[in-house]
Amino acid sequence: MWVCPLAVISWVETTGDIVSDCREQFDNLVELTKRKAGGGCCTVTLKPDDLANASLNDIIAKLPPGIPAKICLAPGAYVLREPIAITRDNLTIESCPDGAILRGRNTAAFRFGMIAISGTNVALRDLALEPAEGRMGRLLGLTAAQMDAIADLMDQFSLGEVRVTHEQNLVLPHVRKKDLPAIYAKLKELDFASPNAGLITDIIACPGLDYCDLANARSIPIAQKLAKRFENLDRQHQIGELKIKISGCINACGHHHAGHIGILGVDKKGVEFYQLVLGGSGAEDASVGTIMGPGFGEHEIGDAVERVVNVYLAERKTGERFLDTYRRIGMEKFKAAAYQEAVAA
């Protein structure tokens, strides 16, 4: 049986049966609280260490059936060994107080999303989700604590204003130059200080199949893997300006057609593939990208993108961006490298 030596289990009771149900399901309780109320409810309060030897699914399965239940997560990072599958009804999982982060132990745990819900009257409140690959800025979403910190920066340094750009970045306007060091120091505390704006890891990605009913393929995991592959800042600055944009379907919410390198997710008989699109731009030199050819598999697209980037590094002239080099030499060498084909000199 799962034991929770650090957890706090409490309940609201109207009959003795509810109390015995909770006692049978959970042992080694640090604190028990009983109070009279109009209905029965079992509440489990967890700390991150409580998931060291048990999964959240195990804990959900041991909640007493037939009554409302709540799992309160104390602030901290909770490592998930598998996606959360909620099949029971009348369950709330929330951060108590703000600051709980659900973090994946491995990429496989997030193949079809972190949380699947089939029960009714299920609520998830104030939880941040973080993939196995680690922190990569906006690709993870923001915790409530981070949002509060940004609001504080906004009030202190940018006249109470923050703007969200179409490139999925935040802008603090009206900032005095003398305040930049203080802002940078605070952003560094929040893990938001990576100078990658406009570089290869500053990726636009739509929600994709994980969260959108219109999508044909997942976008966020592809963006995360590319950000991890090119995470070295020295390498990013060596590559220079390169805009990657990812859409999970032809609706193009990720602007793949306007990316220097665009990635379009497509479905082929239930399997996700990704087409490469080169040469797009949404800037003053606007252009629609050209589809390279057949799509790449989920585990092939990262290597294909890297081979395309390597062609650019080998072919570029002084001062050229990726887009400039592509426009000068055309698709052929990029396509041959992506598909690992031979090209006549």
CA atoms within 13 A on the CB side of 257: 7
pLDDT in tens, 63-96: 887 788 888 888 877 777 777 888 888 888 888 7
Residues 115, 36: one domain?
Answer: yes
Residues 178, 97: one domain?
Answer: no
**Is the residue at 343 inside a domain?**
no
Q: What is the mean pLDDT of residues 313-336?
A: 96
pLDDT in tens, 4-13: 323 333 333 3
Interatomic CA distance for residues 73 and 66, integer angstroms: 22
Environment class of 5 (CB within 10 Å of its CB; exposed 0-12, middle 13-18, buried 19+): exposed
Residues 80, 161: one domain?
Answer: no
What are the residues whose beta carbons fall under 8 Å from the beta carbon of 318, sequence distance 6 or more? none
Q: What is the mean pLDDT of residues 239-245?
A: 95
- What residue has token string 């006249």? 159
pLDDT in tens, 266-315: 998 889 999 999 999 999 999 999 999 999 999 999 999 999 999 999 99
Residues 266, 334: one domain?
Answer: yes
Residues 51, 161: one domain?
Answer: no
Q: Is the pLDDT of residue 141 over 80?
A: no
Of the residues 99, 115, 132, which one is the last residue of a structural domain? 132
Residues 215, 292: one domain?
Answer: yes
CA neighbor of 200 nearest in space, from 223, 221, 172, 166: 223
Asked if 86 and 70 touch (Cβ cutoff 8 Å), the reply is no
Strands (E), the chain: 8-13, 32-36, 41-46, 69-73, 76-80, 84-86, 91-95, 100-104, 115-117, 122-125, 128-130, 163-164, 170-171, 204-205, 244-247, 261-268, 271-278, 290-291, 296-297
Q: Global pTM?
A: 0.62
Interatomic CA distance for residues 12 and 170, integer angstroms: 43
**Is the residue at 3 inside a domain?**
no
Confidence of residue 256 (pLDDT cuts 50, 70, 90): very high
Residues 144, 267: one domain?
Answer: no
Q: Residue 156 sits in which domain range?
A: 139-189
> Using alpha carbons only, what angle is made at residue 211 by residues 300 and 221, rounded to the nearest 5 degrees?
25
Tokens representing 126 are: 């104030």
DSSP per position, 306-323: HHHHHHHHHHPPTT--HH
